[in-house]
C-alpha cells in the first residue's frame, strides 16, 4: 500500500473518529445535563447543536494551532456551502421542505447578515489593515454568538417545542462517553488535517481545495445524517433548522475560536466562495417567499445540488 492510500485510509479513520466522538460526547453530555435537571430544550439547543459542529471545531482548532489559515477558512466556508447546497438540497429532494415563518423570516436572514459581516471583517472593510480575521474579530464573532444564544432562549419561551427524552445512564457510563467522545474528536481531527495536507502536497493541490471539498464534506457528515433522517420523517423544521443553525455556529463559534487561537490570514481568493455562499442564502430566502407556502420545492433543491456539483468540478479542474 503506497503512502497516498495510507493517508486516505487515515482520513477515513479520522472522520469516523469525528463522527463517533461527536455522538458519544452529545450522549454523555445530554445524560449529565438531565441528571442535573437541565431542560430538554436547553440541551437540544446547546449541547446537541455543539455536538454536530464539534468536527468542524476540532479540525479548525488543530489547523489554527498549526497556522494553516487556508484550511481554517476553507473548512468553515466549505462546510457552510456544503450544508446549504448539498445537505438542504438532498433533504429537499427527499421531501419538499416547508418551514415555519419564524425560521424563514428570522434565522435565514440572520445567517445571511452574519455571512456578509464576516466577509467585511475578513477583507478589513471596516478597518484599513491587512486582510485577516484578527483576535478582535474573533471576540466580536463570539460575542455575537452569545447574543444569538440569548435570542434562541427568548424564542424558547414563545414557541412550543416538543420535549426530548433521554434514557438515564450511570455516572461511569456518562463520563466514559464524554472521555471517549473528546478523544475521538481530538485524534480524528488531527488525522484528518495532517493527512489531508499530505495528500494536497503530493498532488500539488492547494490547501484551499482540500479544505473546501474533502474536509468540508467530511466534517458536515453529522449534519447530513441528521437532515436526511429529518426529511425521511417529514420533519421540515429540523431539516432546515439543522442546516441554518450549523451555518451560524460555524461562523460565530468555530471561526471565532479559531481566530482567538491564532489570527487567520485571509486570502482574497476566498471572496468567490463567499459570493457563492451569500448567493445561495439569498436564493433560499427567495425560494421561501415564492408561491403560496414557504417551501423549498424539489426542483429548487435540484438546482442547489446541480450548482454545487458544477462549481466544485470547476474548482478542481482549475487545480489540475
Mean pLDDT (10-residue bins), the chain, 320 residues: 83 85 75 67 58 81 89 91 92 82 73 93 71 89 92 68 56 83 80 80 81 82 77 76 84 94 90 94 84 77 94 83
Q: How far is the C-alpha of 301 from the C-alpha of 88, rounded, in Å?
A: 7
User: Please, what is the Cα angle at 205 between 204 and 208, to 5 degrees?
Assistant: 145
Residue 26 domain boundaries: 3-319
- The pLDDT of residue 163: 47
The reported pLDDT for the residue numbered 56 is: 83
* Residue 41, pLDDT score: 47
- Nearest-Å Rg of the Cα atoms of the chain is 19
Q: Which residues of 122-134 are buried (b: 16+ CB within 10 A; e: fewer)?
A: bbbeeeeeeebbb
With residue 28 as reference, give the H or E element that holds it: helix 3-35
Q: Where are the beta strands (DSSP E) in 57-178?
A: 97-98, 132-133
Instruction: Please report, in angstroms and rounded to a whole number, the separation of the first and last CA atoms in the chain.
Output: 24
Could you tell me which of 264, 230, 261 has the C-alpha nearest to residue 245?
A: 230
| Residues across the chain | 320
Q: How many domains does the chain have?
A: 1
Q: What is the reported pLDDT for 154?
A: 77
Pairing of the two strands 97-98 and 295-296: antiparallel
**What's the pLDDT at 142?**
95
CATH number, domain containing residue 126? 1.20.1420.30
CA distances from 170 to 24, 28, 35, 176 (A): 14, 10, 10, 10
Buried b (16+ CB within 10 A) or exposed e, 11-26: beebbebbbebbbbbb
DSSP state of 234: T
Name 205's Cβ contacts closer than 8 Å, sequence gap at least 6. Answer: 199, 319
Q: What per-residue confidence (pLDDT) applies to 276?
A: 95
- The predicted model scores a pTM of 0.80
153, 39 Cβ separation under 8 angstroms: no
Please classify residue 85 by burial: count the beta carbons closer than 10 Å to its beta carbon, then call 0-12 exposed, 13-18 middle and 19+ buried.
buried
Q: What is the distance between the alpha carbons of residues 56 and 62, in angstroms, rounded to a whole number?
A: 10
pLDDT at residue 116 in the model: 94
Amino acid at each position: 500500500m503506497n503512502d497516498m492510500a495510507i493517508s486516505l485510509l487515515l482520513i477515513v479513520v479520522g472522520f469516523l473518529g469525528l463522527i463517533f466522538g461527536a455522538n458519544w460526547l452529545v450522549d454523555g453530555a445530554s445524560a449529565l445535563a438531565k441528571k442535573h435537571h437541565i431542560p430538554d430544550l436547553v440541551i437540544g439547543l446547546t449541547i446537541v447543536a455543539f455536538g454536530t459542529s464539534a468536527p468542524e471545531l476540532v479540525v479548525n482548532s488543530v489547523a489554527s494551532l498549526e497556522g494553516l489559515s487556508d484550511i481554517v477558512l476553507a473548512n468553515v466556508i466549505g462546510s457552510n456551502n456544503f450544508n446549504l447546497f448539498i445537505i438542504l438540497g438532498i433533504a429537499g429532494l427527499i421531501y419538499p421542505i416547508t418551514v415555519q415563518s419564524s425560521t424563514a423570516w428570522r434565522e435565514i436572514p440572520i445567517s445571511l447578515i452574519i455571512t456578509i459581516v464576516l466577509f467585511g471583517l475578513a477583507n478589513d472593510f471596516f478597518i484599513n489593515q491587512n486582510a485577516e480575521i484578527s483576535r478582535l474579530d474573533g471576540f466580536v464573532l463570539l460575542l455575537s454568538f452569545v447574543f444569538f444564544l440569548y435570542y434562541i432562549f427568548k424564542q424558547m419561551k414563545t414557541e412550543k417545542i416538543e420535549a426530548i427524552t433521554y434514557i438515564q445512564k450511570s455516572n461511569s457510563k456518562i463520563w466514559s462517553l464524554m472521555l471517549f467522545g473528546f478523544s475521538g474528536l481530538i485524534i480524528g481531527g488531527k488525522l484528518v488535517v495532517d493527512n489531508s495536507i499530505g495528500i494536497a502536497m503530493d498532488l500539488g493541490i492547494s490547501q484551499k481545495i482540500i479544505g473546501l471539498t474533502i474536509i468540508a464534506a467530511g466534517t458536515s457528515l453529522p449534519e447530513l445524517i441528521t437532515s436526511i433522517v429529518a426529511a425521511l420523517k417529514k420533519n421540515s423544521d429540523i431539516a432546515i433548522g439543522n442546516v441554518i443553525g450549523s451555518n451560524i455556529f460555524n461562523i460565530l463559534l468555530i471561526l471565532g475560536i479559531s481566530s482567538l487561537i491564532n489570527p487567520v490570514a485571509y486570502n482574497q481568493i476566498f471572496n468567490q466562495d463567499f459570493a457563492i455562499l451569500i448567493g445561495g442564502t439569498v436564493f433560499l430566502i427567495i425560494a421561501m417567499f415564492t408561491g403560496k407556502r414557504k417551501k423549498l420545492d424539489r426542483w429548487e433543491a435540484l438546482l442547489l445540488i446541480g450548482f454545487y456539483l458544477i462549481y466544485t468540478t470547476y474548482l478542481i479542474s482549475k487545480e489540475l
